[in-house]
């Protein structure tokens, strides 16, 4: 979608506080929008589309218990090598 908005202004914002049971997600990210749209259709009581600015940004309200974020450390070279060898082995079987 061509919106006329620079990529640096296409942000994802996540708002929540400890008192409220809802999280607000405002995003231009296509992958995240698609996942949230699918989730909201499957579970309308847990997630809802609250706003569409018609320029590519969607806003969702989702129950905090259903939303998570993850921080992970980078893989070590040893773990990368092990994963690479495993995938080569699986691909060789095909």
In 2-62, which residue ranges form alpha helices assigned H by DSSP? 30-42
Q: Residue 12: inside a domain, yes or no?
A: yes
Q: Residue 1: inside a domain, yes or no?
A: no
**Domain region containing 89:** 7-93
Whether 35 and 59 have beta carbons less than 8 Å apart is answered as: no
Q: Residue 82: inside a domain, yes or no?
A: yes
Q: Residue 29: inside a domain, yes or no?
A: yes
Residues 6+ apart with CB under 8 A from 36: 25, 27, 47, 49, 58, 60, 62
Query: 34-86 pLDDT, tens per residue?
Result: 999 999 999 999 999 999 998 899 999 999 999 998 898 999 999 999 999 99
User: Rounded to whole angstroms, how far apart are CA atoms 79 and 75?
Assistant: 6
Total of domains in the chain: 1
The structure's pTM equals: 0.74
Nearest in space to 60 (alpha carbons), one of 41, 87, 75, 86: 41
Q: Residue 80: inside a domain, yes or no?
A: yes
Report pLDDT for 69. 87
Report pLDDT for 24. 97
Q: Residue 2: inside a domain, yes or no?
A: no
């Amino acid at each position: 979608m061509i919106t006329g908005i620079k990529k640096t202004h296409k942000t994802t914002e996540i708002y929540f506080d400890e008192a409220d049971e809802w999280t607000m997600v405002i995003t231009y990210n296509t992958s995240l929008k698609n996942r949230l749209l699918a989730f909201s259709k499957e579970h309308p009581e847990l997630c809802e589309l609250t706003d569409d600015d018609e320029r590519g940004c969607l806003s969702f309200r989702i129950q905090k218990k259903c939303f998570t974020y993850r921080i992970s450390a980078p893989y070590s070279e040893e773990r990368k090598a092990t994963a690479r060898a495993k995938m080569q082995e699986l691909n060789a079987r095909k």
